[in-house]
C-alpha cells in the first residue's frame, strides 16, 4: 500500500520524503490556508520536492465550467499535479473531461460504493473514500472501503485506485492495508505513530538496562 502525506507543509514533506515514506501528497483548501502561503507557489514547491509522485490539488469551483477552468490551471502548475474534484454531478462531468484530456483526477468526498463506481466509469485516477468522517456519523468507514474494493475487483476494466482518506488511527491503516486499498493518505503524526507499540518500548528499555550493566560502549 502506498503512503501519501496529507499536508501542505513543505518542511514536513521534505522530512518524510527523505525517509522514503512519501509516495504522493494530498492537499485541500483547508490545508493550504493553514500554511498561510501563496497557493500556486506552495503546490509548485511540493510537486518539485516529491517529483514524480502525484500531488493532489483541489478545485474550489462547484460548477462544471469552473472546475474545468481551475483544473486546467492546476494541471499546468507541474506535470505531477493531480486535479482533485468533489463527487458531485458536475464533479463527475469534470472528471470525465479532464481525464479524457490526459490529466490525472482524484475524485474526493466519496462515501459509498455507488459513488465510487460512477467516478471510476468517468475515468478517475483515484477515488477518495473518507473513512473517519463515515465513522463520525455512526457508519463503518472500513465496510465502505471493503465494498469499493469488491466492486472494483469485480470489474478489472476499472483502473481507478482506491485512496483511503480521513485516516485517523493506526487501526485504520491496518484495516485499509488488509482490505487492499491502493493508497492511504494521512497526516505526518499518524505515519509516525505506526512505529509505536508498548512491547517495543518495553523491550528497548530492557535491552538498554542490560547493556548499561556491562559498562561497555560500541563507539
Catalytic annotation, residues = 84
Residue 112 backbone zone (phi > 0: left; psi -120 to 50: alpha; other: beta)? beta
Contacts of 127 (CB under 8 A, 6+ apart): 106, 107, 110, 116, 119, 120, 148, 160, 161, 162, 163
95: three-class secondary structure by DSSP: helix
- Check the CA dihedral 97-120-57-139 and report its sign: positive
User: What span, in angstroms and rounded, lies between the C-alpha atoms of 104 and 126?
Assistant: 8
Cα torsion 154, 158, 163, 165 to 10°: value is: -70
Amino acid at each position: 500500500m502506498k503512503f501519501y502525506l496529507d499536508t501542505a507543509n513543505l518542511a514536513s514533506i521534505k522530512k518524510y520524503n527523505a525517509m522514503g515514506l512519501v509516495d504522493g501528497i494530498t492537499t485541500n483548501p483547508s490545508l493550504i490556508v493553514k500554511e498561510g502561503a501563496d497557493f500556486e507557489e506552495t503546490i509548485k514547491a511540493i510537486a518539485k520536492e516529491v517529483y514524480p509522485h502525484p500531488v493532489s490539488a483541489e478545485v474550489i469551483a462547484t460548477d462544471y465550467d469552473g472546475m474545468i477552468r481551475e483544473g486546467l490551471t492546476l494541471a499546468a502548475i507541474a506535470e505531477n499535479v493531480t486535479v482533485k474534484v468533489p463527487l458531485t454531478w458536475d464533479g463527475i462531468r469534470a472528471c470525465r473531461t479532464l481525464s479524457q484530456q490526459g490529466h490525472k483526477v482524484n475524485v474526493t468526498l466519496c462515501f459509498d460504493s455507488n459513488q465510487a463506481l460512477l467516478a471510476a466509469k468517468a475515468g478517475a485516477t483515484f477515488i477518495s473514500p473518507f473513512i473517519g468522517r463515515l465513522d463520525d456519523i455512526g457508519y463503518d468507514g472500513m465496510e465502505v472501503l471493503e465494498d469499493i474494493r469488491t466492486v472494483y475487483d469485480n470489474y478489472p476494466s476499472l483502473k481507478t485506485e482506491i485512496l483511503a482518506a480521513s485516516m485517523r488511527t493506526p487501526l485504520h491503516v491496518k484495516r485499509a492495508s488488509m482490505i487492499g486499498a491502493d493508497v492511504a493518505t494521512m497526516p505526518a503524526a499518524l505515519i509516525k505513530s505506526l512505529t509505536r507499540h508498548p512491547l517495543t518500548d518495553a523491550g528497548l528499555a530492557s535491552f538498554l538496562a542490560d547493556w548499561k550493566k556491562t559498562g561497555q560502549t560500541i563507539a
